[in-house]
Amino acid sequence: MLKSVSLPIPVQYGLMLAGVLVNISCSIAMLKGKRWGRSFWVSWSSVSMVLGLVISPVPAVILPGLVLFLVAAVFLYRPAVSSYFVAAS
C-alpha cells in the first residue's frame, strides 16, 4: 500500500517516525499538565489526518481513525480536563 501513495517511501517513513516522536512527547507533556502538549497533539493529528485523506489511495481507511481522533479531541477540551491543564501550569 505504501507504493501506491504519491509520496516517496522514505518521506512516508520520515512522517511516520515524526508522528511517533510527536505523539510520545505530547503524551508526556499532557501527563505533566502542559497545555502545549494538548494543543500540539490536536494540531499535528489534524494535519496528519487531512494529509492522509488527500494522499491515501483509499481514503475510507482513514475515517475510523478520524472518528477516534475527534472523540479524543472533544474529551481533551472538556471543562474538567481544561481545568487540569490550567491547574498544572
Which pLDDT tens digit goes with each residue over 20-60? 999 999 999 999 999 999 999 999 999 999 988 888 888 88
- Considering the chain, what is the average pLDDT of its residues? 90
Between CA 68 and CA 9, with CA 61 as vertex, the angle to 5 degrees is 110
Confidence class for position 3, pLDDT limits 50, 70, 90 = confident
Q: Measured between alpha carbons, how far is 26 from 41 in angstroms, rounded to an integer?
A: 6
Res 52: pLDDT: 86
